[in-house]
Structure 1
Amino acid sequence: MNATTRFAGIELGGTKAIAVIAEGNRIIDRRVIPTVAPGQTLPALRAQLDRWLAEAPFAALGIASFGPIQLDPAHPDFGHILATPKPGWTGATVAATLTDGLACPWRIDTDVNGAALAEYHWGAGGQCTSLCYVTIGTGLGGGVLINGRAVHGAMHPEIGHLRLRRTIGDTFSGSCSFHGDCIEGLVCGSALRDRFGMDPAYAADTHPVWRHVAADIAELCGTILLTTAAQRILFGGSVILSRPFLLPWVREMVVDRLGTYLPFLYTGSAEQILQLAGLGTEAGPLGAIALAQAALNAAGR
């Protein structure tokens, strides 16, 4: 592998999908496709891969998909979307549609695991043996890396569906169709629309609901720190990026709740532990490229 080796990547998100082609980890071309019905979105992505293949071969493909998704290669539903609140996508054959007939190695993982891997190699996760990437946007997802490897087990981490301690006085019942007031049902884009009773983009920074949102995110961070011993939690997604005051509030609340128990957590260290993703909006597309490079390395090429 060298700096000019070509890799293809697909970041399949809940709102849009991004197909990229890269030389090394430098993206040289991309196409953005709305995530509509799987019968439209997936063939359009595959057609783009075929167009790039016709121009020049790529060494490997990485697929970073929203979840939940079956990642066990031995399972008959490997590469299929599992039960999801996104209409029409339960059972979608993501991997097969995108890879059937390809001669190159490929790897599929969650979009957040991919983004965590990209941050580990090229972003704000360098030198970390334990890392969590959290995106808050259309949904909420979290990818966990230990020693540079994504955590897999019975499936993959489903951080967005943790049900956490609520702030006293916050009566919002949540918007998740599966769990109501899980963390995704409290702070993702559609949840915020319900909480504010309007498009959250028009909610003033001084609106008191933002303190509840920060408290919910702080509770999530505390849970991640206590359960994974993450050295760093990196944030991406439109919700956290559009309201820069949220992260300082989250840090303050996490230190207040856990700083007397976790010896590594205090006001000074919280700025290092809880950060915005170093790659910004490129964490997702580069996550797909990181997965492609991992696929090539695993194939010994």
Structure 2
Amino acid sequence: MHLLGGVEAGGTKFVCAVGTGPDDIRAEIRFNTTTPEENLAQVIRFFQEHHAQTPLAAVGVAAFGPLDPDPSSPTFGYITTTPKPGWAHTDVVGPLREALGVPVGFDSDVNGAALGEHRWGAAQGLDTFVYITVGTGLGGGGMVNGKLMHGLMHPEMGHMQIPHDWDADPYPGFCTYHGDCWEGLACGPAIQDRWQFPAEELPPGHPSWHLEAHYLALGLVNIICLLSPQRIIMGGGVMQQRHLFPKIHEKVRTLLNNYIQKPAITEHIEEYIVPPALGGRAGVLGALALAEAARAGAPSGHQQSAEKS
């Protein structure tokens, strides 16, 4: 087994791990997302300490974005036009390659989590599925025909436009680019900004959750009709409120209005829209899967599911 390094670079926190998979994590560290200089130094220091004891074969990074996952691009490995202060146009892969001297896999946090779920979690055996994260931001990724979703860059599902009833919800939206896009209406900071309490402090019966389920269902219906995924996995901090899932299931079926007559939706929707089997570890385990693919020589950011070592 080749020892790998994984980095989940989130908008709120970084998680770094050394290991080979869910049952073999040798070391792990977490720290708050601050500045590129401080965080990249922390990542490099963590891996150098372990690299000196047992050499790493590769490192994978699953990061917030937008980012550039195209190996042929001059800005491959960069976080690009992110609204996160201080992080726009940051080279992530370059410093890691230089410091560690190993291949570095790089992709969006949601594509990374999707790859982890495909390898070890709720998407095993599937070739077309979507992973949605609802937390500090709202994003989506996944696979189509067994390959991670890429094209011009990577999916930006969180910035699709969804119906906004201004009379029912006058909140203008949290997104600094689009205001009331899907992320702007349904991400964790939007919930707090709208109701003046963080999501984890709102009780299950609070009206916020019916509105949140409605907005999430609107986006999911678009994704279902567009990509026809075999399963939708929903993670992130907001989705830790598990009482949201039945509300989302009901609203998705209502919005589809029996148009898609497939048992996965009409009879077993609780097995179709599901939480991640890897829980909160989906991101960092996905980063390990990105490292595994990079070690195997797959083009970083464009690989299929990682081969087992």
- TM-score strictly above 0.5: yes
Find the counterpart in structure 2 of residue 226 from structure 1.
Answer: 225
Instruction: Return the match for 1:23 from 20, 23, 30.
Output: 20
Deviation of 1:228 (Å): 1.0
Distance 1:140 1:58 in 2: 32
Instruction: Return the match for 2:132 from 131, 134, 138.
Output: 134
Deviation of 1:103 (Å): 3.3
Instruction: Return the match for 1:124 from 122, 126, 146.
Output: 122
**AA aligned opposite 1:231:** Q
Find the counterpart in structure 2 of residue 258 from structure 1.
Answer: 256
1:165-176 to structure 2, matched below 5 A, reads 165-167=163-165, 169-176=168-175
| 1:234 counterpart SS class | strand
1:75-154 to structure 2, matched below 5 A, reads 75-154=73-152
Deviation of 1:259 (Å): 4.3
Residue deviations 1:174-216 (CA, integer Å, cap 9, x gap): 1110010111111212111111122333222222121111000
Native 8 Å contact 1:140 1:184 kept in 2:
yes
Determine if the alignment matches structure 1 residue 56 to structure 2 residue 54.
yes
Find the counterpart in structure 1 of residue 213 from structure 2.
Answer: 214
TM-score under structure 1 length normalisation: 0.94
| 2:296 counterpart SS class | helix
Deviation of 1:285 (Å): 0.8
Distance 2:136 2:196 in 1: 17
Distance 1:97 1:141 in 2: 26
Deviation of 1:271 (Å): 1.2
Native 8 Å contact 1:163 1:182 kept in 2:
yes
Deviation of 1:158 (Å): 0.4
Deviates more, 1:202-211 or 1:46-55: 202-211
Distance 2:143 2:265 in 1: 23
Find the counterpart in structure 1 of residue 280 from structure 2.
Answer: 281
**AA aligned opposite 2:30:** V
Residues 272, 200 of structure 1: CA spacing in aligned structure 2 closer, same or farther, 3 A cutoff?
A: closer
Deviates more, 1:11-20 or 1:251-260: 251-260
Residue deviations 1:4-47 (CA, integer Å, cap 9, x gap): 32111111001111110003552221011211011111111111
Residues 228, 74 of structure 1: CA spacing in aligned structure 2 closer, same or farther, 3 A cutoff?
A: same
Structure 1 vs Structure 2: percent identity of aligned residues? 39
Distance 2:120 2:293 in 1: 14
Please list every run of 5 or more consecutive structure 1 residues that lacks an aligned counterpart in the other structure.
none
Over the residues paired in the alignment, what is the CA RMSD in angstroms? Answer: 1.7
Residue deviations 1:203-248 (CA, integer Å, cap 9, x gap): 222221211110000011101111111110101111011x211111
Distance 1:83 1:268 in 2: 42
TM-score under structure 2 length normalisation: 0.91
Find the counterpart in structure 2 of residue 11 from structure 1.
Answer: 8
Deviates more, 1:231-240 or 1:23-32: 23-32
Residues 77, 164 of structure 1: CA spacing in aligned structure 2 closer, same or farther, 3 A cutoff?
A: same
Q: Which aligned runs of 4 or more in structure 1 are off by greater than 3 angstroms?
A: none
Residue deviations 1:119-144 (CA, integer Å, cap 9, x gap): 01110101211111111111111112
Please list every run of 5 or more consecutive structure 2 residues that lacks an aligned counterpart in the other structure.
299-306
1:199-210 to structure 2, matched below 5 A, reads 199-210=198-209
Find the counterpart in structure 1 of residue 303 from structure 2.
Answer: none
